[in-house]
Amino acid sequence: MSAESAYVHGYSAREAERLGDQAGSLAHLLHNDTHYPAGSRVLECGCGTGAQTVFLASGSPEAHFTSVDLSAESLEQAGTRLAAAGCRNVTLRQADVFDLPFDDASFDHVFVCFVLEHLADPPGALASLRRVLRPAGSITAIEGDHGSWYCHPQTAEATRAVQCLMEIQARLGGDSLIGRRLYPLLAAAGFREVRVSPRMVYVDSSRPRQVESFSKNTFIAMVEGVRHQALSLGLVDAATWDKGIADMYRATEADGTFCYCFFKGTGLR
């Protein structure tokens, strides 16, 4: 949603592929319990290239989605992706979460996924989303938490590489530890009946599809994506970085394990 997200979630071909992989492997874990009634008006804020939108829209085929993003380029890719998936219940629109071009109370439900982590002002974004939500309407927010990552075998260099990603996101005004903060953020924004549940990804070699789709193509790929920034900013030296990445791949071998946790929160206006 934010301009900053372009720097962390870039738009290269590999990046687009990564976001696609991420959605594919995580869709059930994140979205299996989200279904909107027929006829309901749902705002998806910060849809990016539509990686989550296809699952949302497919899971609630009788609801109507308005999916907005700040980036025209991302919206164009989202349009292509939705067309390929045969989703006809989504309207794409360019908009800023902090200045939404919608009347008060114009949506029955609001959905926001992997967006708050990039914002310098999550409470401001939640206030904006609450404004366009009708009374008794629901909000659903999903975020990761990079501090929830660990693996076996774990090394100091692998930990350092992940810390670099967290520091870069912090310098861009974001908070990659936001998953654990979802409950207090939603409660402080005035939503009621707030419920947050962890959605943990655990991967070992008995789950070879997840080794590829999550450990390698989602998480390690995301960390690898900030190599240039980490080195340019002097957060780490090249030898430490390269060993850290190699060590993360080591944890994807037959005797390795890999853990990460997403958080999903819901509340009512």
Query: Does 142 contact a second copy by CB under 8 A?
Result: no
Our CA angle for 239, 244, 250, nearest 5°, is 125
Stretch that binds a second copy, among 12-20, 59-67, 141-149, 209-217 (CB under 8 A): 141-149
Q: In this complex, which beta carbon is closest to a second copy, that of residue 7 or of residue 183?
A: 183
Answer whether 220's CB lies under 8 Å from 149's CB. no
CB of 146 to a second copy, least distance (A): 11
Residue with tokens 């070992």: 204
Stretch that binds a second copy, among 80-88, 165-173, 176-184, 236-244 (CB under 8 A): 176-184
Query: Does 152 contact a second copy by CB under 8 A?
Result: yes
Among 6, 85, 105, 187, binds a second copy (CB under 8 A): 187
CA distance 137 to 148: 30
Query: Does 127 contact a second copy by CB under 8 A?
Result: no
Determine the residue type at 249: Y
Among 150, 227, 242, 249, binds a second copy (CB under 8 A): 150
Query: Does 123 contact a second copy by CB under 8 A?
Result: no
CB of 242 to a second copy, least distance (A): 24
Characterize 169-202 residue by residue with b for buried, 16 or more Cβ atoms within 10 angstroms of its Cβ, and e for exposed: beebebbbbbbbbbeebbeebebeebebeebebe
Which H or E run includes 221?
A: helix 221-224
Query: Does 158 contact a second copy by CB under 8 A?
Result: no
Query: Does 268 contact a second copy by CB under 8 A?
Result: no
CA distance 234 to 240: 12
Query: Does 161 contact a second copy by CB under 8 A?
Result: no
Query: Does 202 contact a second copy by CB under 8 A?
Result: yes
CA distance 50 to 44: 10
CA atoms lying within 13 Å on the CB side of residue 97: 28
Query: Does 184 contact a second copy by CB under 8 A?
Result: yes
Query: Does 195 contact a second copy by CB under 8 A?
Result: yes
What is residue 164's three-state secondary structure?
Answer: helix
Answer whether 265's CB lies under 8 Å from 196's CB. yes
Q: In this complex, which beta carbon is closest to a second copy, that of residue 16 or of residue 211?
A: 211
Query: Does 115 contact a second copy by CB under 8 A?
Result: no
Residues near 137 by Cβ (< 8 Å), separated by ≥ 6? 105, 107, 108, 109, 110, 268, 269
Query: Does 190 contact a second copy by CB under 8 A?
Result: no
By the criterion CB under 8 A, which residues form the site for a second copy?
145, 147-148, 150-152, 154, 177, 180-181, 183-184, 187-188, 194-198, 200, 202, 204-206, 254-257, 259, 261, 263
